Structure 1
Amino acid sequence: MRTPRTSIIMPVYNTANTVINAIQSVRNQTDPNFELLIMIDGSPDDSADIITAYHKKNPDTRIHIFNNPENKGLSAMRNQGLEHARGDWVVFPDSDDALEPTFLERLHQQAELTGADVVNCAHNMVDTRGHKTKRLKGTPGIRTGEQAAYELLQDELSPYAWDKIIRRSLFNDVRYPDIERAEDECALLKCYLAAQSVSVIDDPLYNYSVTPDSLTWSRITPVEETHRLIAYFEEALGEHRSKPDAQKALTVARVLAFLNNAQQALVVGGDSARETLRECRKGFTYTQALTTLRTNRVFGAAGVLLKTSPKLYRVLYGIYIKRTYKM
């Protein structure tokens, strides 16, 4: 059996209404040299039946279905996919989104042109009316893997798994962690540090579905998980951690992590929200917020504001979400 160039790993959970569109967007690729690994994660809806029926009606030897009876989570599904992947490159699309037809072709062209180990692209945010808004995280061009890692920590480069191709060899010693938040960013940080170079292109090749539910949280992540996340970043940096650029990036990452945790508390509310907010405000110092301010004015100002006026912070955060996602 010929080895495919790309292994596309698609976890599926509760996406019966969208998964066929996602699968079809993969099959419509202008670069046909891929395998699609569909990882059904104990989905309680009829996703498994729908996928099986579709595959029976549209047989494709490139598609491999793994129907896991027990829900184990996104990280476990991606890791299972990596164990079975045969391609030189990997892609991790979500099952409620869609690839543009030239996603693989264009990203592989860039990889061949630059020799990059990871290639990121822009994406379209698609609202419930089908309206698309282009978004690019990162400056187009090429950078070292180490520089990409620092940009990632400072929210200057895409933290998502789905808008890029990644050389599979970078995952030789990397798996998605069992952590409640930012598992994409955790794995990417290690991949970037292992990469020789990372490229970013301006083409919007991925369609990300934005719904009101996708912008809210149903529960508040325990603050302990945010401390775990920071510890993971520190461990991942290893020998780089003592470098000034790494220290600055870690400071920004700390402020951002506690800001995100605080946003959950403000949005979800409930009995634990006040205590979570209090702990998040203690998660970073004014000095760290000011360091972040010099790197990113918006996030630095948000950090200062969170420590001084949480109520005003919540109002401004709501405005930010509406403007960013046009909702």
Structure 2
Amino acid sequence: MRTKLETAARYGAVGVLLANNKAGALPPPLPKGVVSALGPGGEVVVSRTYAPGSVQVVGALSAAALQQLFAGAPADTAQTLAALRAGKPASQALPGRLRAAYRSRYQDVDGYNVVGKMEGSDAKLKNEYVVHSAHLDHLGVGEAINGDSIFNGAHDNATGVASVLEIARAYSRLKVKPRRSVLFVLVTGEEMGLLGSAYFAKFPTVPKAALVADVNTDMPTIIAPLLAVVPLGAVHSSLLQPVEAAAAYLGLAIEADPEPAQHRFIRSDQYSFVVQGIPALHLKYGNKTADGQNNLSEQVQKWRVLTYHKPQDNFDGGTFDWDAGRKYAQLNFLIGYQVAQAAARPTWNPGDFFGARFGK
């Protein structure tokens, strides 16, 4: 959404209409309001749903309405979509006119990131930082589901915050601290569009150029034994090497993302660091199971239907595998520790999309 709005604003659009081109399909869902973080001067500094500039209205169209909008145009929707799929520009003037009106309500809300720092032991490298991050917000109080209206967020993301706290405790017990310094960053506003992490990555409490990597922890989903992991984003940079070493040490297999269509790498706080050119990753469960069926994703998907983003994501009556949680925290710690000890900072892989787009 943000990329679409920013592109439209850059070319002077006064509005953006999002359309679903599948026949009979409903219009695509729109954000529930525009949520942004403001800078000291009151200006928008980070947002996933607002592009500073010319875009004033965002709306959604059904496939039928899209066809009406293209009526009488030089190219119809089929020709336009075919050109876009082929990577060719398909801009054209539409003969119709559109009038839109909107009403808005504005509300200020204060939110806080919590940042801890452990100084490194190397006289030079201590001025560079490895980040361990997790988001501390959830959904608050909402419409009741099965008689409960409090969205506790036990898995999403209390387990992630607890993991970062355990990682911090492990670092604190080292007799010799790693060469680089480490930041423990618990961010707000993830559920509102990665706002807290986007703000921190853009305006960190240390020089931005000193941030070398982010190891993010979001909803580990510790509901079964941890036998394999999916290191989302690691394949884009040299971070894959410490992931492989740590996983081998703990006897964990590494798997490819079983849900590539979910685009999970760009949906959590690690992506805020990526946008600032900082290599990052997010560790999720793999599909391996002790019985050899290797179908854990099916169990996770069933859990999501019943629990994810619902009041039922609760500690009381919830499903937790504490040994898996311990191993997950160990894995994240070992990855971050290796990066903090390495002589060279992580780098984007040659020709990588994210590195080419943001790493410069």
Q: How does the TM-score come out when normalised to structure 2? A: 0.30
Looking at secondary structure, tell me which structure has more helix per residue.
1
Instruction: Name which one, 1 or 2, has greater alpha-carbon Rg.
Output: 2
Structure with larger RCO (C-alpha < 8 A, sep 6+)? 2
